[in-house]
Amino acid sequence: MGIIRTDQWLKEEFDRPTKLCERLCPYFKGQKAKEIYNQLMGFGMYRPSRSAYSNLNDMVDQNVWEKVEVIFRKYKNKWNGPDVPVFLFPVDNQSGFFFRREEKRKAGVSFPDKMFLFLAHLEDPKEMEAIFIHEYHHVCRLSMLNKKMEDYTLLDSIVIEGLAEYAVLKHCGKEYLANWCRMYTEKELTNFWDRYLKKQLSIKKNERGHDELLFGGGRVPKLLGYAAGYNVVGKFYEKHHYSTKLSFTIPAAKYIK
């Protein structure tokens, strides 16, 4: 599959994203275009606006579709990863949305059988590679584990985020890590783990409390699950030989033993 030429879709339907999302219906079985668009907006997909149109023009000028295709082929071969469709759209950097990588220039969301990147103008091409690595690592692990989404636990979610960002560290360098990797001190993370996470690791993905503990909010520190995941994975690889391919299949429980 590789990169889907959504630049052509956007030329025709930029102002009607719900109509545009009708083209995604075959990839989301049983979901209507409006449902798909609402879901993707939650992860950073654009809303029609002047700034979003500017982001689209920047993407076209930078040949983003061609560049991401090169990155995709590189990591698909390196990791022997799945040949999934990759969809590129402008990022919604006008809203107060809390992006997964906490940066309004790029965001993404991954599934076992598809991947979405939401982008704008990026001065450093390595930033594009970093967000790709993070999301494609998710695709690879989700695909290899082959579990039903409802069977994933909070521990699974914490570990998958930590592993994806550790892959960014390995392949791009620490300067390309997300801000949440250094948001808290080791002491703070130890305290937060005992206070918030330790007894809740078995909460399923669709159960109440999962997202609050992963993303933070209310009484829970911001991006707690993400920060804890990167910390847990980092400690694991201080003691064990690191292989990106191996990280797609190691059970989450092994990272906290």
* pLDDT tens figures, 8-20: 999 999 999 999 9
122 and 207: one domain?
A: no
Give every CB contact of residue 115 below 8 A, 6+ residues apart in sequence: 84, 85, 86, 87, 108, 109, 135, 136, 138, 139
219 and 236: one domain?
A: yes
pLDDT of residue 241: 77
93 and 136: one domain?
A: yes
Closest-CA residue to 197 (of 228, 173, 172): 228
**Model confidence pLDDT, tens digit, residues 189-233:** 999 999 999 999 999 999 989 999 999 988 999 999 999 999 999
130 and 57: one domain?
A: yes
Q: Which of 112, 145, 178 is the last residue of a domain?
A: 145
242 and 155: one domain?
A: yes
Q: For 88, phi and psi rounded to 5 degrees?
A: -115, 130
167 and 230: one domain?
A: yes
Angle between the 154-172 and 125-145 helix axes, to the nearest 10 degrees? 140
Angle between the 50-61 and 64-79 helix axes, to the nearest 10 degrees? 70
Mean pLDDT for 123-144 is 95
Burial of 49 (0-12, 13-18, 19+ CB in 10 A): middle
pLDDT of residue 94: 59
Give every CB contact of residue 125 below 8 A, 6+ residues apart in sequence: 67
Q: Which of 125, 145, 165 is the last residue of a domain?
A: 145
pLDDT of residue 103: 44
pLDDT of residue 98: 45
Q: For 235, phi and psi rounded to 5 degrees?
A: -65, -40
Closest-CA residue to 48 (of 37, 33, 32, 36): 37
pLDDT of residue 97: 40
251 and 156: one domain?
A: yes
Q: Of the ranges 93-102, 110-119, 151-160, 247-256, which one carries the lowest mean pLDDT score?
A: 93-102
pLDDT of residue 100: 43
Give every CB contact of residue 186 below 8 A, 6+ residues apart in sequence: 231
What's the whole-number average pLDDT of the chain? Answer: 92
53 and 82: one domain?
A: yes
Contact 189, 224 (CB under 8 A): no
Specify the number of domains making up the chain: 2
129 and 167: one domain?
A: no
pLDDT of residue 54: 93
196 backbone φψ class: left, alpha, beta (φ>0; ψ -120 to 50): alpha
177 and 248: one domain?
A: yes
pLDDT of residue 167: 96
Q: Grade residue 96 by pLDDT with cuts at 50, 70 and 90.
A: very low
Give the range of the structural domain holding residue 106, as residue numbers without chain letter.
Answer: 2-145
